[in-house]
Amino acid sequence: MKHFTTIALWFIYTIAIAQNFTLKGTIHSNDYDGLSIFLVRLHPADRSLNTIVDSARIENGQFCFSLSVTTPFLASISLPPKDNYHYYGLPETMCIAEPGNVAISYSPSDPYSVTLSGGKLNADYDATILSRDREVRRKIKSMIEARNAQEQTVQYSLEQEQAYNDSLRSLYATMQPAYNDFVARNINNDVGASLFFLHQNDFSEACYKSLKTKVRSDYVFCHDSIMQAKEMARNREDSIRSVNHRGARYSDFTSFTPDGKSVALSSLLKPGRILLLDFWASWCSPCRMEIPELKKLYEKYHDKGFDVVSVSLDTKREAWTKALDAEQMPWLQLSTLEGFKSKSAQAYAVHAIPFVVLISGNGNILQVNIHGQLLEKNIEENLNN
């Protein structure tokens, strides 16, 4: 009898701490039928710890998630990307995973039409935040349409543009009290903590400090550690940029040719010549659009002392070599297949491509990230000097 009682109590306890959460979604479009959509648990403080907790197949514009939930948490609903560089177009949206049945409805053509119903927290979230968001977005849409219509007939003055931007800011500001209210009432749970860190820049300094004292200490520690690491990274990047300017000395690095030969940048610098260091990638359309122009510059100025070396920020060898075969660039090609984490990209603080650095034969940086006619002008001037 005692053993039976223990089992019964354990069963009741288990039921109490883990309850079922069901989310039925309606997309109002059949364009995504057959695709898998994912429910992702958002970590309150560290996005790298976000985890997929369920998936569903979209059929007739509908999907359904079902899982056990012990404590409510903020979750995102999204499709995976088509590939590394393309997306399906269905906007990502959020809900709260909590015990009970919840329904979400939204349209791909109107990402701000999201409505949530069912569940105590979801109903509160919809009534407090989403309803206000929908109202503000409708007003903004009307303002944009009116502005566009006016621009067709009357030239907008700077004063009108400023007034328009002020009106937009005022409208967005009307949403903040609703966020403050909802977050403050849920700051002790994962939902409130997630929204707090997600919108941390929108709170006033006093409100931010007050709410932060109520967030779980481990989340605060995690968040602050990440912010400190980002600040250190920004400082390092700023430091690198401060020395990678016109007149500064170049930064050396070693990379590899497609056949695996190791090449140091320093070995490519030759007295009396100039070198264009070109950062690109196979997936970068603007980079590849520039290649025909670089070919023209190379053909025109190479015999006069102009050299080029391209450094790919690809991470897949097959993509890199396939692009090389297609583009047929007549100059040296290098890559470590480490993307933006490569030592070459970090040495020049490259965070977007195309990115070029023009270097003299004696190792001085002549120009950074110039393109088109300005690049050709600088090539001519430095070759003539």
Q: What is the CATH number of the domain that holds 38?
A: 2.60.40.1110
| More confidently predicted of 285 and 264 | 264
Give the whole-angstrom CA distance, residue 225 versus residue 245. 31
Tell me if 158 is assigned to some domain.
no
For residue 10, what pLDDT band results from cuts at 50, 70 and 90?
very low
- Pick the last residue of a domain from 73, 102, 118: 118
Collapsed DSSP state (helix, strand, coil) of residue 237: helix
| Residue 4, pLDDT score | 44
| Model confidence pLDDT, tens digit, residues 145-162 | 887 777 677 666 677 778
Task: Check whether 86 has a pLDDT greater than 90.
Answer: no
The secondary structure of residue 163, as a DSSP letter, is H
Tell me if 293 is assigned to some domain.
yes
Task: Check whether 377 has a pLDDT greater than 70.
Answer: yes
- Pick the last residue of a domain from 95, 118, 141: 118
Inter-residue contact 54 to 135 (CB < 8 Å): no
Task: Check whether 109 has a pLDDT greater than 90.
Answer: no
Give the mean pLDDT of 11-37: 82
| Nearest CA among 56, 55, 22 for reference residue 40 | 55
| Residue 318, pLDDT score | 93
| Nearest CA among 317, 311, 314 for reference residue 359 | 311
- Pick the last residue of a domain from 61, 90, 118: 118
| Residue 154, pLDDT score | 66
| Model confidence pLDDT, tens digit, residues 27-68 | 989 999 999 999 999 999 999 999 999 999 999 999 999 999
For residue 263, what pLDDT band results from cuts at 50, 70 and 90?
very high
| Model confidence pLDDT, tens digit, residues 317-376 | 999 999 999 999 999 999 999 999 999 998 998 888 999 999 999 999 999 988 888 899
SS3 for 286-305 is HHHHHHHHHHHHHHHHHHHC
For residue 85, what pLDDT band results from cuts at 50, 70 and 90?
low
Buried b (16+ CB within 10 A) or exposed e, 112-140: bbbebebbebbebbbebbbebbbebbeee
Paired strand residues for 311: 279, 334
Of 95-99, 188-192, 228-232, 353-357, minimum mean pLDDT range: 228-232
| Residue 12, pLDDT score | 45
Tell me if 27 is assigned to some domain.
yes
Helix (H) or strand (E) segment spanning residue 147: helix 131-153
Q: What is the CATH number of the domain that holds 335?
A: 3.40.30.10
Tell me if 127 is assigned to some domain.
no
Tell me if 315 is assigned to some domain.
yes
Q: How many domains does one find in the chain?
A: 2
**Greatest C-alpha distance within the chain:** 100
What is the rounded average pLDDT for all residues in the chain? Answer: 89
Tell me if 298 is assigned to some domain.
yes
Angle at 123 between CA 121 and CA 124, to 5 degrees: 60
What percentage of the chain reaches a pLDDT higher than 90?
66
63: domain range? Answer: 19-118
Inter-residue contact 317 to 339 (CB < 8 Å): no
| More confidently predicted of 110 and 54 | 54
| Nearest CA among 29, 43, 137, 138 for reference residue 88 | 29
